[in-house]
Chain A
Amino acid sequence: MTPFLHFNQVRKTYGDIHAVDQVDLSIRKGEFFSLLGPSGCGKTTLLRMVAGFERPDVGRILLEGVDITDLPPNRRKVNTIFQNYALFPHLSVWENIAFGLRVAKRPAAEIKSAVDAMIDLIQLNAHARKKPSQISGGQKQRVAIARALINQPDVLLLDEPLAALDLKLRQRMLLELDQIHDQVGITFVYVTHDQGEAMSLSDRIAVMNHGRIEQLGAPAEIYETPNSSFVAAFIGDSNFFDGVVTELIEPDYCRLRIDGFPDVMCYNDKRKQRGDLVHLSVRPEKFRLSLDPPPNEARANCVRGRVAEVVYLGAQTKFLVHVQEYRLAITQQHSRFLLDQKPIRWEDEVWIWWHADDGYMLDRYSQTDEELLEMPAG
């Protein structure tokens, strides 16, 4: 399949800062694609390059094989939903939506029917004559989407579109966005720092850090098999271990020595050899926790620890458990909370076990990424 939207060796610097550094990226037609990362990672710069508000210093951007790098924003079949919607305050909702057709000098009758249809679609008929300052945040959001979609762009760019909304509304708009994408079927490029939004909406996600793409893949791929400590810590939460390979067992597994732990068994898709140093990431919910010794399972790792902190969160409980000098963050879902024979409390001695497949070896590890964790080590 030929790439639909293609970044070729794109770079942009501001002074000494590499906002975007050698990005090579292909986005497929019709895909819901997210650029995810902390603020300052270059995701917005990348988006603004597609819109035409920024120019790369080096590299080209191609849309359907056509080089659009030097086209001004008004000559690209690309539209943007801005972070604060950027609705025209002096125009009514109706005129805001009509703006793109008006500047394209379309016949009045066509504009009228298209805008009316769009207003029906977003269910704002009662508010068509109002000014943007007179409608709610969620309604503004819908007007912004309608205003961008009426031009039938090839690509819709969304720059943190939900950031200004409160939690409940954000969740509702998330569903609406998903439905709109299914209906119109055009390519969405979505910029966000919120991993939850990216995970729930996207076909694929590019996780960015310091102007580079750290990892590219489907949400589950990125969550389950993070290739760096940054991705593991930025998306969800994790526990990191340093270990040395002591033994290769079976074709795909190895045994690790981690200080203070009994031998740990781990899935070895990275083909590490004896004596190699590895960084292991285990998600908090992959651990199981109990007061009683665990049932005997093949390829399970088991250690004992002492509970240092219990945080009850309703749907789940977070535990902080000391195992030697490690502090493990562990999350347990409550399926039958009241039926649990004995709740685990502070200072309890507990058993912790996890399956060898649930520990994942990282390609890159950086100490500073620990800062992204909910409970940083130290």
Chain B
Amino acid sequence: MKRSRIPLYTTWAVLIFFYLPIGVLILHSFNASRFSSSWEGFSWRWYIRLFAERDIWFALQNTVIVALSSTIVSMVLGSIAAYALHRYHTRLQRVHYTLIYTPLVVPDILMGISLLLFFVGIGMQLGLITIFLAHTSFCVSYVAMVVLARLQDFDDSILEAARDLGATWWTTTWRVLLPLLAPGIAAGGLLAFTLSIDDFVITFFVTGPGATTLPIQIYSMIKHGSPPLINALSTLLLVVTFLIVWLVQHLTQEEHRHEVD
């Protein structure tokens, strides 16, 4: 049967559409010229300039602190939530599911403004702590959804087998459930980590004096700063993203190999 060629052409056009701007950006990060209109030869100069920008390093440090802490907390909370959602089918879990699901589809700006109002309302000092609280709140949902998806393929009789063989609830959780869920939890954690590193809108609302994260820094550079520096910084961030995506793919691939057998 002859297949339509439309999907083929669309896919490749879309991929070019995806990568053309990114490619141009990476290219320009090595352009010796200050202006994107002309190519004046290959140069590392923007990267070298980048390392001298103390603001960027400070922002990066903040970003990593927030991302690591909110990733860890959301991995714990999200995994517990996913397990509860998977294990029980009560009315409480229906409410719980809605509560987990909703933050995923609420636009960033609404989460940002509502959290700002909340923090202002309870008189909390805006800063890294409020950013951490905000990031954890949306990361929990992402981790929970990734882990829940893993649990759906999970054979519950494996847990029953462990209980049957004499393991307590606690041993079953540590020796069987967690090792088997680990790739899912790790993938959820990596997703949470990148989301936290990336987040601009929500952070913009709940940040306070001195608590500049990398996206906030990039935003002010886009608005007021020098484009070649952003090119260089973006390229570095893209490299980190590629590494993380590769890692996540690796984690899921492991799983796939088991399925193939």
A–B direct contact (CB < 8 Å): yes
A133→B157 contact, CB < 8 A: no
Q: Using Cβ atoms and an 8 Å threshold, which residues of chain B touch A151?
A: 165-166
Binds B, one of A96-104, A236-244, A348-356, A365-373: A96-104
Interface contacts (Cβ under 8 Å), in number, total 71
Q: With A82-B157, A88-B158 known to touch, is A52 a contact of B163 (CB < 8 Å)?
A: yes
- Judged by a CB distance under 8 angstroms, whether B53 is at the interface is no
A99→B167 contact, CB < 8 A: yes
B163 partner, pick from A74, A84, A89, beta carbons under 8 A: A74
Please report the C-alpha to C-alpha distance between residue A148 and residue B261 in the assembled complex, in whole angstroms: 24
Q: What is the distance, in angstroms, from B89's C-beta to the closest C-beta of chain A? A: 12
Q: With A86-B157, A86-B160, A133-B258 known to touch, is A103 a contact of B176 (CB < 8 Å)?
A: no
**Which residues of chain A from 50 to 81 have any CB-CB distance to chain B below 8 Å in the complex?**
51-53, 72-75, 78-80
Please report the C-alpha to C-alpha distance between residue A82 and residue B258 in the assembled complex, in whole angstroms: 20
Please report the C-alpha to C-alpha distance between residue A84 and residue B261 in the assembled complex, in whole angstroms: 15
Q: What is the distance, in angstroms, from B163's C-beta to the closest C-beta of chain A? A: 4
B176→A88 contact, CB < 8 A: yes
Please report the C-alpha to C-alpha distance between residue A83 and residue B167 in the assembled complex, in whole angstroms: 20
- Judged by a CB distance under 8 angstroms, whether A204 is at the interface is no
A73→B163 contact, CB < 8 A: yes
Q: Using Cβ atoms and an 8 Å threshold, which residues of chain B touch A75?
A: 166
Q: Using Cβ atoms and an 8 Å threshold, which residues of chain B touch A87?
A: 158, 161
Please report the C-alpha to C-alpha distance between residue A139 and residue B245 in the assembled complex, in whole angstroms: 37
Q: Which residue of A lies closest to B176 (CB)?
A: A88
B261→A133 contact, CB < 8 A: yes
Q: What is the distance, in angstroms, from B174's C-beta to the closest C-beta of chain A? A: 11
Please report the C-alpha to C-alpha distance between residue A136 and residue B52 in the assembled complex, in whole angstroms: 60
- Judged by a CB distance under 8 angstroms, whether A134 is at the interface is yes
A86→B158 contact, CB < 8 A: yes
Please report the C-alpha to C-alpha distance between residue A51 and residue B165 in the assembled complex, in whole angstroms: 10
Q: With A88-B176, A90-B179 known to touch, is A147 a contact of B160 (CB < 8 Å)?
A: no
Q: With A86-B155, A88-B176, A89-B180 known to touch, is A80 a contact of B171 (CB < 8 Å)?
A: no
Q: With A53-B160, A83-B157 known to touch, is A148 a contact of B165 (CB < 8 Å)?
A: yes
**Which residues of chain B from 143 to 198 have any CB-CB distance to chain A below 8 Å in the complex?**
155, 157-158, 160-168, 171, 175-176, 179-180
B161→A82 contact, CB < 8 A: yes
Q: With A99-B165, A103-B167, A133-B258 known to touch, is A80 a contact of B160 (CB < 8 Å)?
A: yes
B166→A74 contact, CB < 8 A: yes
Please report the C-alpha to C-alpha distance between residue A147 and residue B167 in the assembled complex, in whole angstroms: 13
Please report the C-alpha to C-alpha distance between residue A331 and residue B180 in the assembled complex, in whole angstroms: 52
Q: Using Cβ atoms and an 8 Å threshold, which residues of chain B touch A134?
A: 261
B155 partner, pick from A84, A99, A103, beta carbons under 8 A: A84
B258→A73 contact, CB < 8 A: no
Please report the C-alpha to C-alpha distance between residue A317 and residue B163 in the assembled complex, in whole angstroms: 49
Q: Using Cβ atoms and an 8 Å threshold, which residues of chain B touch A90?
A: 176, 179-180
Q: Using Cβ atoms and an 8 Å threshold, which residues of chain A touch B158?
A: 86-89
A82→B160 contact, CB < 8 A: yes
Q: Which residue of B lies closest to A90 (CB)?
A: B179
Among A75, A78, A100, A104, residue most surrounded by chain B Cβ atoms (within 10 Å): A100
Q: What is the distance, in angstroms, from B257's C-beta to the closest C-beta of chain A? A: 8
Please report the C-alpha to C-alpha distance between residue A80 and residue B166 in the assembled complex, in whole angstroms: 11
Q: Using Cβ atoms and an 8 Å threshold, which residues of chain A touch B167?
A: 74, 99, 103
**Which residues of chain A from 176 to 199 have any CB-CB distance to chain B below 8 Å in the complex?**
none
Q: With A89-B258, A134-B261 known to touch, is A104 a contact of B160 (CB < 8 Å)?
A: no
Please report the C-alpha to C-alpha distance between residue A87 and residue B258 in the assembled complex, in whole angstroms: 13
Please report the C-alpha to C-alpha distance between residue A367 and residue B230 in the assembled complex, in whole angstroms: 81
Q: Using Cβ atoms and an 8 Å threshold, which residues of chain B touch A82?
A: 157, 160-161
Q: Using Cβ atoms and an 8 Å threshold, which residues of chain B touch A80?
A: 160-161, 164
A86 partner, pick from B161, B171, B175, B261, beta carbons under 8 A: B161
**Which residues of chain A from 207 to 266 have any CB-CB distance to chain B below 8 Å in the complex?**
none
Q: What is the distance, in angstroms, from A155's C-beta to the closest C-beta of chain B? A: 11
Please report the C-alpha to C-alpha distance between residue A84 and residue B160 in the assembled complex, in whole angstroms: 12
B166 partner, pick from A53, A83, A84, A104, beta carbons under 8 A: A104
**Which residues of chain B from 218 to 261 have any CB-CB distance to chain A below 8 Å in the complex?**
258, 261
Q: Using Cβ atoms and an 8 Å threshold, which residues of chain B touch A78?
A: 164
Please report the C-alpha to C-alpha distance between residue A86 and residue B172 in the assembled complex, in whole angstroms: 13
B168→A74 contact, CB < 8 A: yes
A103→B165 contact, CB < 8 A: yes
Q: Using Cβ atoms and an 8 Å threshold, which residues of chain B touch A104?
A: 166
Please report the C-alpha to C-alpha distance between residue A103 and residue B173 in the assembled complex, in whole angstroms: 12
Q: What is the distance, in angstroms, from B255's C-beta to the closest C-beta of chain A? A: 10
Q: Using Cβ atoms and an 8 Å threshold, which residues of chain A touch B166?
A: 74-75, 100, 103-104, 151
Which 9 A-B pairs rank lowest in CB-CB distance, beginning with the nearest?
A100-B165, A86-B161, A86-B157, A73-B163, A133-B261, A103-B167, A80-B164, A82-B157, A86-B158
Q: List 24 A-B contacts (CB under 8 A).
A: A51-B160, A51-B164, A52-B164, A53-B163, A73-B164, A74-B167, A75-B166, A79-B164, A80-B161, A82-B160, A86-B157, A87-B161, A90-B179, A99-B162, A99-B165, A103-B162, A103-B165, A103-B175, A133-B258, A133-B261, A147-B161, A148-B164, A151-B165, A151-B166
Knowing that A80-B160, A83-B157, A90-B180 touch, tell me 18 more A-B residue pairs with CB under 8 angstroms. A52-B163, A52-B164, A53-B160, A53-B163, A75-B166, A79-B164, A80-B161, A82-B157, A87-B158, A99-B162, A99-B165, A100-B165, A103-B167, A104-B166, A133-B258, A147-B165, A151-B165, A151-B166
Q: Chain A residues in contact with chain B, CB under 8 A?
A: 51-53, 72-75, 78-80, 82-84, 86-90, 99-100, 103-104, 133-134, 147-148, 151
Q: Chain B residues in contact with chain A, CB under 8 A?
A: 155, 157-158, 160-168, 171, 175-176, 179-180, 258, 261
